[in-house]
């Protein structure tokens, strides 16, 4: 495993993708930055971090036989790797908010951005960006649900140690993915899914409120919510959110 450490970069994902486009990159090459000036989250949302206080890194990995239709299992692997590394720190009420945000209670600690390279019906490689709020003390008022490991547990943590813990789990889950042990991944992910089977108020993309409960993730990776009339509806990214009352 090759680890490239940078002081400042616009985005570790962008840096690694550019690198992959120009040279042959070893499997599990990791790019870590002390700070990102243009960090990205899902759907091009911005990921802002304080310099030297958090983990911001990207990992390049190849796959021998991963069908595009099974892309959700890759997301499961990465979410579970981060979840399990943070779980070792004894964070309370840890969960995975679909598709791959990491929460402690209702506070967001980290996010994941997966960018795949396709060849026909196969995912041949991925650049996975992971951002975790570790030792940051304060956050923008525009991010009321953002928090950090330090804010929750009251002490600082070693970034290198946490990085090693996540990377070790990523390699283990990569092996499980290559073995196509999909049911094992699905079971582990759903067990840790935020608000699963809990009656909850949601809001759709038209800002219409409705009651339902999360029951799973569809084959295509959409969130499955059972409505009050017992029908099941699927939602893609940004098509549904938890309503704040």
Q: Left, alpha or beta for 145 (phi > 0: left; psi -120 to 50: alpha)?
A: alpha
Q: What percent of the chain has pLDDT over 70?
A: 95
The pLDDT tens digits for 151-194 are 999 999 999 999 999 999 999 999 999 999 999 999 999 999 99
Q: Would you say 78 and 128 are in contact if contact means Cβ atoms under 8 Å apart?
A: yes
pLDDT for 245 equals 63
Where do the CATH 3.30.930.10 domains begin and end in the chain? 3-192
Q: How far is CA 169 from CA 12, 68, 95, 176, 235, in A?
A: 20, 23, 17, 11, 29
CA atoms within 13 A on the CB side of 223: 25
Beta bridge partners, 148, equal: none
Q: Write out pLDDT tens, residues 53-85.
A: 999 999 999 999 999 999 999 999 999 999 999
Largest CA distance in the chain: 54
The boundaries of every CATH 2.30.30.100 domain in the chain are 198-242
CA distance linking residue 211 with residue 190, whole number of Å: 20
Where are the strands (E) in 133-206, listed by range? 200-204
Q: How far is CA 128 from CA 25, 222, 224, in A?
A: 14, 19, 24
Q: What CATH architecture does domain 3-192 belong to?
A: 2-Layer Sandwich (3.30)
In this structure, the number of other CB atoms found within 10 A of the CB of residue 41 comes to 15
Query: Which option is the CATH number for 198-242: 2.170.120.12, 3.40.50.720, 2.60.40.10, 2.30.30.100?
Result: 2.30.30.100
**Whether pTM exceeds 0.85:** yes
103: exposed, middle or buried (C-beta count within 10 Å: 0-12, 13-18, 19+)?
buried
Q: Rounded distance, CA 236 to CA 224, Å?
A: 9
By DSSP bridging, strand 29-36 and strand 3-9 are: parallel
What is the mean predicted confidence (pLDDT) over 222-229? 97
What's the pLDDT score for residue 107?
Answer: 96
Mean pLDDT of the chain: 94
For residues 147 and 55, what is the distance between their CA atoms, to the nearest angstrom? 13
């Amino acid at each position: 495993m090759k680890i490239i450490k940078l002081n400042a970069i616009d985005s570790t994902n962008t840096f690694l993708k550019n690198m992959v486009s120009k040279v042959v990159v070893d499997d599990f090459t990791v790019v870590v930055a002390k700070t990102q000036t243009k960090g990205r989250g899902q759907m091009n949302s911005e990921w802002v971090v304080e310099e030297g206080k958090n983990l911001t890194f990207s990992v390049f990995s190849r796959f021998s036989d991963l069908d595009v239709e099974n892309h959700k299992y890759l997301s499961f692997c990465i979410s579970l790797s981060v979840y399990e590394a943070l779980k070792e720190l004894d964070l309370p009420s840890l969960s995975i908010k679909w598709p791959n945000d990491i929460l402690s209670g209702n506070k967001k600690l980290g996010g994941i951005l997966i960018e795949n390279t396709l060849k026909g019906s196969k995912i041949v490689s991925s650049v996975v960006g992971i951002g975790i709020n570790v030792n940051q003390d304060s956050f923008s008022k525009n991010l009321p649900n953002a928090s950090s490991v330090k804010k929750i547990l009251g002490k600082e943590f070693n970034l290198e140690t946490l990085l090693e813990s996540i990377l070790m789990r990523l390699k283990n889950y990569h092996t499980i993915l290559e073995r196509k042990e999909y049911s094992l991944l699905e079971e582990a992910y759903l067990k840790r899914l935020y608000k699963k089977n809990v009656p909850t108020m949601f809001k759709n993309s038209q800002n219409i409120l409705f009651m339902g409960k999360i029951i799973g993730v569809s084959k295509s990776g959409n969130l499955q919510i059972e409505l009050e009339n017992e029908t099941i509806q699927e939602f893609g990214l940004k098509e549904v959110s938890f309503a704040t009352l």
